[in-house]
Chain A
């Protein structure tokens, strides 16, 4: 049915303040506090003055002793500054999953596996009370606005874990906020009435852009904490010795492109046609001088090429992939006939990336590589018929499929449920298999957007960038510590729907839970208890996802769409 296009104004910056109760007075108070006191307000552009950043992009939070501020492994889009009181960071060993409100990881035992034989008769969405009572190690309290989770037995935590105190003026969470990486450690309030300033990433980016001291601080922290180990794990740097690596690390710059909150309004924008490659922030523009290689650390970017009417997508790159090595290598080998960037690179949603400058590459990195590790030279006039190494996807899966996957951001999925409708007999064996591994409840809908013979079902894709995990107040939705699957702990889920609303793929569904007699569970108010549910990739199951193994015709697979090779192979199977 041709829908009337929904006209929607593109949301403007600062339409809504981060903290609704932020006042001008509070902003003024912050301006008088370190480190903002030291910042030069003149350096900020007129459109984004320092005061407005503080007014609209930050909020004041108060924590009581033992309340968790950030959890290790959570994804967050903001950084914190301690204004008053103290906080504690848990160093070694990390807190147990239970005390963070998570499910204990691990496989189902033999007994629980076999018990699924007779659990098939259970009423839909029925839970036992044990499943819904959270661990005794944590408690939760609800104030007028937020839910706070606190550690019940603080002395024991302090006893068993090495911790470190943080004081007023200390910054934390900025790397996770800017790079969209999981939080590296858990931090809880160490004094009653601890006051913290939460700065959302947009504000943090502005601050960092305009204040040299903060930028230097963050860059230093980043280099110290994350860069060296990351570079060490990147193949092209593997032949470098310690001293060389240090030099590279010193020269690498990092930056973040795009919009963290892409998931929220993305679908509506996409339907209104507002999303076009040309509108996406360009990281590299075709024809630019190759000033360095781009290492994508998180997020996604689109490789595109100009055509008569606009740009066409050739491929997309995910975390860990490199852009520009061809051109840099070519120029290093042929200084007489240098080429410019052959393609554009644009952030899809957002992209966090590192740039290793050309000089460092030519002096240190390229000489260290063997001949066969170097890419082939760039042909002078790259025609559309010739496939550059990083653009093969288009021909392999077809332009239509590539556009479809990109438009719907399906490359985010590391375990997307791909169904080949040419082979699928619609027997629902996958759904029934899912139900029998989840207490008689399916955890996905065998339906979803499709193109040609492909359908991406509404099943959790276990995204590389799990936007659902941003904003969960209790940490109920989290990554499993072994396999990295995104799972929800029903005991700590409070049914706030923030994950379901965040998910752009309709993969999370809210259900009204029942007891074993199929009666709806209600709270003291008589309202039904609601929990978020979704595919957990059969995390506790032997043999992997039951849906995939249950498909008699090999029509369903769980696939990492970050990399189209697997899709290509599967389609040609």
Chain B
């Protein structure tokens, strides 16, 4: 880790202490109150609700209820701790019934997507900043559109008199400019498609006339810009898409959890 911040240290320290304490308490309570699943259940549900409250905090930015940054730190560390609580609640065993398996899967997906999101949020911004060409996600289609118009104008417009370039444009560039491209390749930081296009343009340049060279120069710039936009689109979209798993499933999980509570109490005549 490039910068091991002090808050990381304290966060991890607290998490570690809490983990050890929880495991110790678990061993103790499992002896004293062998049937204490309801206790861990309520604690687990409480933790899950606190985690969900972060979403509410985001909707109330005008209230003085703590920084979002602090909330997120709590969210992350408590999230990890909640996974432990979950395992304790399950007594480190796999569930059996269809309902409980579904419930466990929901929990796993929500926490798994959370961890994935955490990694993405730490890795992708740095890559975006390194690449440069900062752009607001919602503006990308418009910018893309403008680039396409400009590229078409350069390659096919009234001033362009180069069948070679027009052919190259129709064959290689028209598709490239027509919409978002190479989402997955950008995510894995592959520059292959860009390099292929640039190489194609370079080939033409070697044989082209002066006028054609100027056009190719311009097209190269446009291709690079479009590639930069695609890169930003791919990474920024990924930074948004993981929440499409995390947030909707959270609410699914809460509904299943509510039913779980009803079943546990309705079918036990008490908390057993």
Q: Does B190 lie at the interface of the complex (its beta carbon under 8 Å from any beta carbon of A)?
A: no
- Tell whether, in the assembled complex, residue B61 and residue A423 are in contact, meaning their CB atoms are under 8 Å apart: no
* A232 close to chain B: CB less than 8 A: no
List 4 additional A-B contacts (Cβ < 8 Å) besides A421-B129, A542-B64: A117-B60, A429-B61, A437-B62, A447-B135
Per-residue A-contact encoding for B233-262, CB less than 8 Å = 1, 0 else = 000100110000000000000000000000
Interface residues of B in 197-221 (CB under 8 A from A): 221
A265 to B125, CA, bound (A): 35
Q: Which one, B9-17, B21-29, B65-73, is touching chain A?
A: B65-73
Q: Are A541 and B239 in contact (CB under 8 A)?
A: no
B126 close to A422 (CB less than 8 A): yes
* Interface 0/1 of A190-225, CB less than 8 Å to B: 000000000000000000000000000000000000
Binary interface profile of A, 442-456, with partner B (CB < 8 Å = 1, else 0)?
000011001011010
- Nearest to A573 among chain B residues (CB) is B5
Known contacts A446-B136, A551-B69, A554-B69; A116 and B125 CB within 8 A of each other: no
A66 to B94, CA, bound (A): 83
Query: Judging by beta carbons under 8 Å apart, are B239 and A427 in contact?
Result: yes
Give the 5 A-B residue pairs with the shortest CB-CB distance, closest first. A543-B64, A433-B61, A421-B129, A554-B69, A552-B72
Chain A residue, CB-CB nearest to B132: A450
Cα distance A162–B13 in the bound complex, in angstroms:
64
Collect the chain B residues with CB atoms within 8 Å of residue A555's CB. 125
CA distance A104 to B139 in the complex (A): 37
Contacts of B67 in A (CB 8 A): 548-549, 551, 554
The answer to whether the Cβ of B124 comes within 8 Å of any Cβ in the partner chain is yes
* B121 CB–A CB distance under 8 Å: yes
User: Is A424 close to B, CB under 8 A?
Assistant: yes
Which residues in A have their C-beta under 8 angstroms from that of B64? Answer: 542-543
B134 within 8 Å of A by Cβ? yes
Q: How far is A407 from B124 in the complex, measured between Cα atoms in Å?
A: 29
Q: Is the CB of A553 within 8 A of B126?
A: no
**Is A425 an interface position by the 8 A CB rule?**
yes
B172 is an interface residue with CB less than 8 A from chain A: no
Q: Is the CB of B63 within 8 A of A426?
A: no
Alpha-carbon distance A436/B62, docked complex (angstroms): 7
- Asked if B42 lies at the interface with its beta carbon under 8 angstroms from chain A, I say no
A550 part of interface (Cβ distance < 8 Å): yes
Residues of A in contact, count (CB < 8 Å): 37
B69 x A552 contact (CB < 8 A): yes
Q: Judge whether A551 and B68 touch: CB under 8 Å.
A: yes
B69 touches A116 (CB 8 A): no
Is A167 engaged at the interface, CB distance under 8 Å to the other chain?
no
Q: Residue-by-residue, is A553-573 near B (CB-CB < 8 Å gives 1, otherwise 0)?
A: 111000000000000000011
The smallest C-beta distance from A354 to any residue of chain B, in angstroms, reads 40
Instruction: Answer whether residue A133 sits at the interface, using C-beta atoms and an 8 A cutoff.
Output: no
Pick the most buried of A437, A446, A447, A554: most chain B CB atoms within 10 A of its CB: A554
* 1/0 contact string of A368-401 vs chain B (CB within 8 Å): 0000000000000000000000000000000000
For A542, give the chain B residue with the smallest CB separation.
B64
B residues less than 8 Å from A549 (CB atoms): 61, 66-68
Within the complex, the shortest CB–CB distance from B151 to chain A, in Å, comes to: 13
Nearest chain A CB to B114 CB, angstrom units: 13
Measured between alpha carbons, how far is A296 from B121 in the docked complex, in Å?
Answer: 43
Q: CA–CA, A572 to B129, complex, Å? A: 17
**0 or 1 for each of B130-141: is its CB under 8 Å from A? (1 = yes):** 000011110000
Interface check B30, CB cutoff 8 A: no
| Nearest-CB residue, chain A, relative to B7 | A573
CB-contact partner of A426 in B3, B71, B125, under 8 A: B125
Residues of A within 8 A of B125 (CB): 421-426, 553, 555
Q: How far is the CA of A551 from the CA of B63 in the complex (A)?
A: 14
Q: Indicate which residue in B65, B71, B134 contacts A447 across the interface (CB closer than 8 Å).
A: B134
Please state if B58 and A429 are interface contacts (CB–CB under 8 Å). yes
Find out whether the CB atom of A1 lies under 8 angstroms from the CB atom of B221: yes
A113 within 8 A of B: yes
Instruction: Assess the B62–A553 pair: CB atoms within 8 A.
Output: no
Name the one of A1, A421, A426, A546 contacting B61, with C-beta atoms under 8 angstroms: A546
A425 contacts B121, C-beta separation under 8 Å: yes
